[in-house]
Amino acid sequence: MKVLSSLQSGASIFTAILRRPDLWLTAVRQLFRLIPRRWWATSPFLPIPTRDYLRFRLITQYGDHQHVVEVADVLSYLTWVKDFR
């Protein structure tokens, strides 16, 4: 069930970003910044953030590492990053 909610959340975030062309470049930049160094040297050999990092971010954002990421929070963050640049 957790995997399903994560996939649904990811799809919702992706769809919301697609609807906001002004955030496309910012989203891609942030995605590349989340890729750990030497990602190819450790399993699962994919350029994705580590579980420890994602867990830390969920705890600092929501106070619970099992909380599903909210679309509005991601859009708000990307808007903040874009405006900050």
Residue range 31-80, pLDDT digits in tens: 999 888 888 888 888 888 888 988 998 999 999 988 888 899 999 999 99
SS (H, E, C) 36-78: CCCHHHCCCCCCCCCHHHHHHHHHHHHCCCCCCCCHHHHHHHH
Distances (CA, A) of 51 to 23, 24, 35, 36, 84: 25, 24, 12, 11, 27
59/27 Cα distance (integer angstroms): 22
Domain ranges of the chain: 2-84
pTM over 0.85? The answer is no
Whether residue 3 has pLDDT greater than 70: no
**Residue 4 CB-half CA count within 13 A:** 1
Q: What is the DSSP letter of 34?
A: H
